[in-house]
Amino acid sequence: MKIEVTGTGPLEVDASVLAIPVFEGDPADPKGLFAEIDRRLDGHLTTAAADEEFLGKAGQTLALRTLGKLRADRLILLGLGKRDGAEGALARAGFEPLRLAAGDAARLAQKGGARRLAFAVPRLPGQTAQEARAVVEGALLGAYRFDRYKTEEKKKKPRLLEALVVAVPQGLERSREVKESVALGRSVAWSVAWARDRVNEPPLHLTPTRLADAARELAKEAGLHVEVLGPREIAGLRMGMFLGVTRGSAEEPRLVKISYAPKGAAGRKPPVVMVGKAITFDSGGLSLKPTEGMVDMKTDMAGAAAAIAAMRVVAELAPPFPVHALVGACENMPGGRAYKPSDILIARNGKTVEITNTDAEGRLVLGDVLAWGVETLQPALLVDLATLTGACLVALGMTTVGAFGPDGPAMDAVLAAARSAGEDTWRLPLVDSVKEELKSDVADLKNAGTRMGGSISAAWFLKEFAGDAPWVHLDIAGPSSTTKERGYIAKGGTGVGVRTLVELVRARAVEEARPPRR
């Protein structure tokens, strides 16, 4: 989709559809844009708003045809909620309401066959660049479709949006900050869509090998270094937990490392390391899931998709420190060689693990990859993303990421990045008493505790392999996929985590660029 930024007044922009964000109270302002549109439409906008009870509340939409009285054929009004304090509220929410509104506008415009969508950013002082980025991300992701396996859809050749026009206050369209923010928004949206595509692929077509191939292709295009290891190399790295999980599958495992490193002394700084869970299909192994619990298990690699996709944006940001993405990809299947409850696996760091549930497999693979990353890379910051526990869904629902880790700068940085990105993330506690559930009578620890506090015990398990590294675990089991459309979020994989990782690296780069305090 082509993206244009214009300082032309929104009512003068040439577009098929004009999208206008509206705050509560705007319809009553006689000098505002709503009133001007109403005058041009001979009062029909006020009538339509009254009929549809459109007040500008967050999430409300109102669509109508302009009957030739505006340059755009159709008008879409999008509620943003209260105007009072909107400047601070939007920023604190990572401009998520605006991102959601832009997604709604793009979806409605595309369903109506529009080719050109114009979106007027709210005129909030000092926030135009961030608003423009949110609009670009929201509109591009709102237009996202995954229909490559729908043969009838291909026959119909649906009309897709060809252009997005972002209307900003006059003069700011030439602003360097606005241009850079729009470019970043486009890049982030591309990467989120890439992650969505991988999550939406059926497991037949996204095996560990094919996920590694996709990562290799992305890295090559972005100018990043990539290393892909097979079962023999994984065995040489003494990753006994990883190899235990993959034993039941006919598909070979892959260990993927994607690396960005600046030249010179900066390339030798302690890196940021992102680790993604990549179970390309999780049957539960011998602790077999029921059918209804298995249908969506192609999404069990969403953490890896986010980590890999974020690296493309990292390459463009070119931070003054190294960044790595590590992914251990495999299937968890109940084959004749599958690992069994009561097996004891030996991890890379030498710890022995009693298997009490083969459906608690993601933490085993992650544990070995975390230990490898800590030992070989000595990270300044270590973040893992994983669709790890159903318990996190029970605790936080389907739209919130759970964050675990010790107090300190690493946790503070990740939570700040999530807020800036507009990805809802809530910190959960590492309760000491729950850690006791991982004690084993025959090994150093068990791979699963009881159902009570399951997401906490899973995080404690990972902590055994992160060691003393500055580490944060993000459980994305809830928001990694969805069955409902909402704003820019399409059904299926969401690409959650990409924006948080990008903001984490971006904020760290900005911090390092600041002159030292005297």
Beta bridge partners of 346: 352
Q: How far is CA 477 from the centre of its chain?
A: 12
- Helix H, strand E, coil C: the string for 114-181 is CCEEEEECCCCCCCHHHHHHHHHHHHHHHCCCCCCCCHHHHHHCCCCCCEEEEECCCCHHHCHHHHHH
Give the contacts of 71 (CB within 8 A, at least 6 positions apart).
11, 12, 13, 14, 15, 18
Q: In the 8-state DSSP scheme, what is residue 21?
A: E
- Residue 491 appears among annotated catalytic residues: no
Q: Does residue 406 sit in helix, strand or coil?
A: coil
- Measuring CA to CA, which residue among 59, 56, 58, 78 is closest to residue 10? 78
The C-alpha atoms of residue 485 and residue 237 are separated, in whole angstroms, by 43
- Residue 133 appears among annotated catalytic residues: no
Q: In the 8-state DSSP scheme, what is residue 203?
A: T
In this structure, the strands spanning 401-404 and 425-427 are: parallel
Phi, psi (rounded to 5 degrees) for 256: -115, 135
- Measuring CA to CA, which residue among 409, 407, 410 is closest to residue 429? 407
Whether 345 contacts 240, CB under 8 Å: yes
Q: How many CA atoms lie within 13 A of 459 on its CB side?
A: 28
Q: Is 495 left (phi over 0), alpha (psi -120 to 50) or beta?
A: left
Residues constituting the chain: 518
Q: Looking at 107, 363, 463, 508, which residue is catalytic?
A: 363
Amino acid at 515: P
The C-alpha atoms of residue 278 and residue 465 are separated, in whole angstroms, by 17
Q: Looking at 179, 269, 289, 427, which residue is catalytic?
A: 289
Q: The tokens of 136 are what?
A: 């670009």
How many other CB atoms sit within 10 Å of the CB of residue 159? Answer: 12
The C-alpha atoms of residue 143 and residue 135 are separated, in whole angstroms, by 12
Beta bridge partners of 474: 385, 403
Annotated catalytic sites, by residue? 289, 363
